[in-house]
Amino acid sequence: MAEYFKDISKIQYEGTESTNPLAFHHYNPSEVILGKTMAEHLRFSSCYWHNFCWDGSDVFGQGVFGRPWLQAGDEMQRAKEKANVAFEFFSKLNAPYYCFHDADVAPGGKSIKEYINNFAEITDVLEQKQAETGMKLLWGTANLFSHPRYAGGAITSPDPEIFTYGATQVYHAMNATKRLGGENYVLWGGREGYETLLNTDLRQEREQLGRFMQMVVEHKNKIGFKGALLIEPKPQEPTKHQYDYDSATVYGFLKQYGLEQEYKVNIEANHATLAGHSFHHEVATAVSLGIFGSLDANRGDAQLGWDTDQFPTDVPELTLVMYEILKAGGFTTGGMNFDCKLRRQSSDPADMFHAHIGGMDHLALSLRKAAAILENDFLADCVKQRYAGWSGNLGKAIQNGEHSLGSLADFAAANNIQPKHLSGQQELLENKINRVLFG
């Protein structure tokens, strides 16, 4: 298949003075910040699904992009054509990683045997394309939500045969991820939830999901997969309420089944906002709970109540996200995956590059700004001062279990304590952050 993006060369860093729309203006992969290059800090990844499996359709209209590899024809031949275009794009974008679902790369076929054979054949193709281009796999996963069989859930389905079919997909997707050198394996329970409690057994479904998560850990150890297992939280859509609502909910679930040391979270910005949180909140929560793993970097639309998967442009919020990541020591196996799609009217092939360049530049700028905050960390100084009392004798004694309610009541009366509120200085801190952001 001929080059699809034949008029586009590999994207390079040209700096802020450049007017070339097909160049990076802030993302300089080799620039060193806080001891690591931008490429090492950000670990950018592009997704297979929105870029190469979606033709611009929505619930009100058919596809508008006219991608040739999505036209009717031999399914396996089309899958190989899609792989050619995908790796052409990945290579020219100059990002080191990509991600996929099993259903993105290979047709499911008419039987489970066809699925297994098709996926194995395309795994060979992906391995060859990685060798040719130097691309690496950030993570793989299985699609347990698109097929009609999963209308009532996959792992939480009332039918154990549907559970088994889903488990089979995960088995093969994990094996392929290991073979392709994937650095993580992701589980997203898009249908693992309920529409109505009228026909749902919550205890039964949670038990099924907990046992499945244990099985995944067992298989990881059996095959010697060294990457991280990631759960991607989402509160709703497509189901009314999902069991992986947000990072805190995921942590509670993991604790219930003794899995808190086995899994981390893959946080998506747009999922955070659907849960009523900010992206910053979800990242900080995951870090505080010790389950921070990887990110799907995107954004939603404040006027739309669903997952719009737009490319990230909010530098102020992204700066605070990068600040949390840098404070925590940065990514280990995770990275910044663009789980994003073009707007339906952005129908030129070059728009795919413009979108990713913007996302990469905005995150690179945010990295610089976050590093600037850390170099003179007024936020950390404020927090330390605000909680200083907990480093004193009374605070330490409470934390160490040396007090009961009664002894605290006695202490308060004996010392006639009269504590006064001290300002949290929120507006001052916001002003300081804006001076870093905007000068």
Rounded CA separation 91/102 (Å):
21
Neighbouring residues of 314: CB distance < 8 A, sequence distance ≥ 6: 299, 362
CB hemisphere CA count around 327 (13 angstroms): 20
Cα dihedral 204, 209, 212, 218 sign: negative
Catalytic residue among 25, 26, 102, 104: 104
Using DSSP's 3-state secondary structure scheme, residue 273 falls into: helix
Give yes or no for a contact between 193 and 243, defined as CB atoms under 8 angstroms apart: yes
- Per DSSP, 376 falls in state T
381 is catalytic: no
104 is catalytic: yes
CA–chain centroid gap for 233, Å, is 9
What is the H or E stretch that residue 373 is in? helix 349-375
Distances, alpha carbon 110 to alpha carbons 104, 121, 159, in Å: 16, 16, 20
Rounded CA separation 263/334 (Å):
12
Rounded CA separation 220/26 (Å):
38
Which of 2, 49, 6 has its CA nearest to residue 337?
49
Neighbouring residues of 267: CB distance < 8 A, sequence distance ≥ 6: 232, 233, 247, 279, 282, 283, 286, 292, 293, 294, 295, 296
What is the H or E stretch that residue 154 is in? none
User: For the stretch 147-182, what's the b/e string if a residue is b when 16 or more beta carbons lie within 10 angstroms of its beta carbon?
Assistant: beebebbbbbbeeeebbebbbebbbbbbbbbbbbeb
What is the H or E stretch that residue 179 is in? helix 160-179
Cα dihedral 280, 282, 287, 292 sign: negative
Catalytic residue among 41, 50, 101, 172: 101
- Amino acid of residue 163: F
Which of 109, 102, 110, 108 has its CA nearest to residue 126?
102
Q: Which residues pair with 44 in a beta bridge?
A: 336
By annotation, the residues acting in catalysis are 101, 104
